[in-house]
């Protein structure tokens, strides 16, 4: 195998599922990427990708190779940052997270604590759990907050083990029904799951488990299936919908009180089976948390303490 650039090319092809898209992202010509992949395959004596009409997908041996390649690139990146002179005027932070207001609250507190007279370079990605795990594994992010339903813990922890990732528990909680103060159920002291059947649920449209076999995927389909539902892909629209259409609701982790008051919302406990969820902090093995990472974890813990009071 020739060099680290070849590993980078192969990982980018896997990420995009397309040699042409990888070449575009890397500002290179497609023939150069194709040649690099062929050279790696010739050197290793394996086929890394199967070419299909819909793009390229890793072979079994190729998937093993790509896992090693991601780890090597991550270690090289961390080694370079370790021995490069510290840039005291640069504040950098990156993370993938679920669409959770308590996490956003912690992130905002982190930004408030930064020195705004110095350079700030921040990447905050709200996405689903599988994408968050992949972002840490391939080095796109250093950290991720990953959410899963507690009954599926074994699946997620095995996935982290396969990707050679570590994790720390942030907290375990129950989903609450979030709704307008004008919702017909808002004044009830306690609601039942069946009480919500006649109302429209707002969901995040990309919460899925695409890597499971069909049987497993069906097993892990969202618990809260409704005929009346609106799929959104970012948190701004959900608040507008809840506020302006009082007959809607959605399931959320406990929220900061100022977010509730800002949009005239309430969160209600609900009698519902299998309503236990966990959020965990995910990072690569051997990753040394920087001061700014540790500060975010502190802000996250403070945010959990805040929402846990209500």
Give the dihedral sign, CA 177/182/184/186: positive
- Residue 142: predicted pLDDT: 92
- Of 41, 59, 83, the last residue of a domain is 83
DSSP track, 90-110: EEEEEEEE-S-HHHHHHHHHH
Q: How many domains does the chain have?
A: 3
Give the range of the structural domain holding residue 232, as residue numbers without chain letter.
Answer: 176-271
- Residue 226: predicted pLDDT: 53
Is 147 in the same domain as 293? yes
Strand partners, 251: 177
Is 215 in the same domain as 245? yes
Whether the model pTM is above 0.75: no
- Of 83, 117, 151, the last residue of a domain is 83
- Of 58, 83, 108, the last residue of a domain is 83
Residues 55 and 17 sit within 8 Å (Cβ to Cβ): yes
In this predicted model, what pLDDT tens digit does every residue of 248-300 receive, in sequence order? 999 999 999 999 999 999 999 998 889 999 999 999 988 889 999 999 999 99
pLDDT band at residue 106 using 50, 70 and 90 as cut-offs = very high
Is 10 in the same domain as 30? yes
Distant-in-sequence, close-in-space partners of 235: CB < 8 Å, separation ≥ 6: 99, 101, 104, 126
Calculate the alpha carbon distances from 199 to 43, 177, 178, 229, 275 in Å. Answer: 59, 12, 12, 9, 19
Is 96 in the same domain as 229? no
Is 266 in the same domain as 292? no
Is 180 in the same domain as 266? yes
Distant-in-sequence, close-in-space partners of 148: CB < 8 Å, separation ≥ 6: 129, 155, 156, 277, 278, 280
Is 62 in the same domain as 125? no
Calculate the alpha carbon distances from 200 to 178, 183, 223, 230, 308 in Å. Answer: 12, 11, 15, 7, 27
CATH of the domain at 300: 3.40.190.10
Q: Which ranges of the chain would DSSP assign to H, the alpha helix?
A: 4-16, 19-25, 30-44, 60-83, 101-113, 129-137, 153-162, 214-219, 235-244, 257-262, 291-308
Mean pLDDT of 176-186: 96
Angle value at C-alpha 153, between 147 and 159, nearest 5 degrees: 85
Q: Which ranges of 114-213 would DSSP assign to H, the alpha helix?
A: 129-137, 153-162
Is 248 in the same domain as 107? no
Is 294 in the same domain as 265? no
CATH of the domain at 55: 1.10.10.10
Is 167 in the same domain as 180? no
Q: What's the rounded Cα separation, in Å, for the pair 137 and 163?
A: 6
Give percent of the chain above pLDDT 90: 57
Is 162 in the same domain as 184? no
Is 139 in the same domain as 286? yes
């Amino acid at each position: 195998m020739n060099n680290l650039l070849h590993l980078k090319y192969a990982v980018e092809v896997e990420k995009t599922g397309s040699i042409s898209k990888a070449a575009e992202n890397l500002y290179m010509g497609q023939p150069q990427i194709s040649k690099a992949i062929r050279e790696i395959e010739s050197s290793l004596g394996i086929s890394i990708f199967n070419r299909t009409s819909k793009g390229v997908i890793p072979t079994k041996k190729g998937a093993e190779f790509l896992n090693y390649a991601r780890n090597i690139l991550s270690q090289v990146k961390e080694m370079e940052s370790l021995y490069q002179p510290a840039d005291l005027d640069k504040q950098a932070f990156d993370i993938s997270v679920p669409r959770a207001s308590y996490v956003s609250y912690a992130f905002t507190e982190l930004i408030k604590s930064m020195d705004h007279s110095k350079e700030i370079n921040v990447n905050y990605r709200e996405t689903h759990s599988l994408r968050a795990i992949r972002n840490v594994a391939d080095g796109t992010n250093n950290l991720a907050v990953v959410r899963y339903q507690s009954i599926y813990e074994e699946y997620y922890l095995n996935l982290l083990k396969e990707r050679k990732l570590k994790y720390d528990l942030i907290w375990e909680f129950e989903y609450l029904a979030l709704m307008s103060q004008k919702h017909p159920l808002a004044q009830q002291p306690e609601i039942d799951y069946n009480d919500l059947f006649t109302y429209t649920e707002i969901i995040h449209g990309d919460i899925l488990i695409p890597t499971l076999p069909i049987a497993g995927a069906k097993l892990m389909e969202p618990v809260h299936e409704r005929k009346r539902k609106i799929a959104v892909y970012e948190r701004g629209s959900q608040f507008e919908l809840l506020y302006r259409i009082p007959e809607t609701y959605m399931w959320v982790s406990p929220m900061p009180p100022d977010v509730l008051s800002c949009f005239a919302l309430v969160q209600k406990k609900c009698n519902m089976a299998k309503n236990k969820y966990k959020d965990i902090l995910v990072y690569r093995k051997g990753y040394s948390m920087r001061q700014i990472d540790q500060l975010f974890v502190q802000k996250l813990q403070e945010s959990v303490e805040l929402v846990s009071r209500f």
